[in-house]
């Protein structure tokens, strides 16, 4: 069960995305997957390269469209474990509509966002996650827009699994990805993944000072939706750990009448003449 391949990542030394790659590889092995059971679908950005760095099926999609592709893969082959991944620009700017609708749809997919609060691949512009006052080439006088809160949006959209972690905490990150894979529904895992080259504000040290680990609250109940929303707001979205999980809601696949467990490739989808005519007649 080796999810490493021989492709050398071309991320900058120290980039937080290395830990996400390692965490996915470890989590996939820990839950007992084989490389042929896993598909990693990514969008565009430095983090989008991750689909080429894991020994599994990989699909490097177009900007903001990792989730539509991932949902198509999952519907075509339920036997696959599907991980979608990308950056905060990919998922929370151009891909935001897909993110919200994938959350409310609740297909059995794990979505890992490498959130570095900047556009790295295009050499440092303000992203939807950048703080007010953040100076980049696109906001030389400082951003005047409020940063988007992905955790609040996920909760408002009816998420059944919301977690957040940090690239420096490989143990927690691996555990959350394992739990996300095992969750029967859509799992959002936002990961603070520092861009060491272009973001000189939200550094590893900055995150270490500002993160609030849910381990500090032994009585915290991740099944309590109101408590989860309150904790997200109390901590200004800086908390890490398993924030919310609802195991009572069925996944999208389980709600489709007659939808079968086996992938379409195992099914005989041909219609004979009478079945075809019956189908056509339904639309008259
Ligand atoms: Fe990572 Fe930033 Fe380098 Fe991109 S530019 S690989 S996000 S450190």
| C-alpha of residue 220 to centroid of ligand 1, in Å | 34
> Looking at the domain assignment, is residue 75 inside a domain?
yes
Instruction: Summarize pLDDT for 212-224 with one digit per residue, the tens.
Output: 999 999 999 999 9
Question: If you take atom 5 of ligand 1, which residue's CA is the nearest one?
Answer: 120
- Residues of the chain with pLDDT > 70: what percent? 100
Ligand 1 centre to CA of 270 (Å) is 48
How far from 213 is each of 65, 86, 114, 238, CA to CA, in Å? 31, 23, 18, 8
Residue 10 lies in a domain: no
- Retrieve residue 62's tokens: 């177009």
Mean pLDDT score across all residues of the chain? 97
1 pLDDT tier (thresholds 50, 70, 90): confident
Which CATH number does the domain housing residue 219 bear?
3.40.50.970
Both tokens of residue 270? 């041909």
Residue 174 lies in domain: 17-281
| Enclosing H/E stretch for 96 | helix 96-105
- Number of domains making up the chain: 1
188: helix, coil or strand?
Answer: strand
Residue 12 belongs to some domain of the structure: no
Backbone torsions φ then ψ of 162, nearest 5 degrees: -130, 125
Residue 228 lies in a domain: yes
pLDDT tens track for 5-19? 999 999 999 999 999
Instruction: Annotate 124-175 with DSSP letters as a single string.
Output: SB--TTPPTT---SS-TT---SPPP-HHHHHHHTT-SEEEEEETT-HHHHHH
With 0-12 / 13-18 / 19 or more C-beta atoms within 10 angstroms meaning exposed / middle / buried, residue 249 is: middle
CA atoms within 13 A on the CB side of 46: 28
Q: pLDDT tens digits for 189-245?
A: 999 999 999 999 999 999 999 999 999 999 999 999 999 999 999 999 999 999 999
pLDDT tens digits, residue range 13-63? Answer: 999 999 999 999 999 999 999 999 999 999 999 999 999 999 999 999 999
Centroid of ligand 1 to alpha carbon of 48 (angstroms)? 11
pLDDT at 171 over 90: yes
Q: Is the CB of 90 under 6 A from ligand 1?
A: no
pLDDT given at position 284: 83
Whether the pLDDT of residue 129 is over 90: the answer is yes
């Amino acid at each position: 069960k080796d999810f490493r391949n021989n492709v050398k990542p071309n991320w900058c030394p120290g980039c937080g995305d290395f830990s996400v790659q390692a965490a996915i590889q470890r989590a996939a092995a820990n839950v007992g997957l084989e490389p042929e059971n896993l598909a990693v679908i990514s969008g565009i950005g430095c983090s989008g390269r991750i689909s080429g760095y894991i020994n599994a099926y990989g699909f490097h999609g177009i900007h903001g469209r990792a989730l539509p592709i991932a949902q198509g893969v999952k519907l075509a082959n339920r036997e696959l474990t599907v991980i979608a991944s990308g950056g905060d620009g990919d998922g929370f700017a151009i891909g935001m509509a897909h993110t919200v609708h994938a959350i409310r749809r609740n297909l059995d997919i794990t979505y890992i966002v490498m959130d570095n609060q900047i556009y790295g691949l295009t050499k440092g512009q303000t992203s939807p996650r950048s703080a007010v006052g953040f100076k980049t080439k696109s906001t030389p006088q400082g951003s005047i827009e409020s940063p988007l809160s992905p955790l609040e949006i996920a909760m408002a959209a009816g998420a059944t699994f919301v977690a957040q972690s940090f690239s420096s905490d490989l143990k927690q990150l691996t555990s959350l990805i394992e739990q996300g894979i095992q969750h029967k529904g859509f799992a959002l895992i936002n990961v603070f993944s520092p861009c060491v080259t272009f973001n000189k504000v939200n550094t590893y040290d900055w995150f270490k000072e500002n993160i609030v680990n849910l381990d500090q609250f032994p009585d915290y109940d991740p099944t309590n939706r109101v408590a989860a929303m309150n904790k997200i707001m109390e901590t200004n979205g800086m908390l890490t750990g398993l924030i919310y999980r609802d195991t009572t809601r069925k996944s999208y696949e389980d709600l489709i009448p007659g939808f079968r467990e086996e992938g379409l490739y195992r099914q005989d989808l041909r219609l004979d003449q009478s079945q075809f005519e019956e189908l056509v007649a339904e639309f008259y």
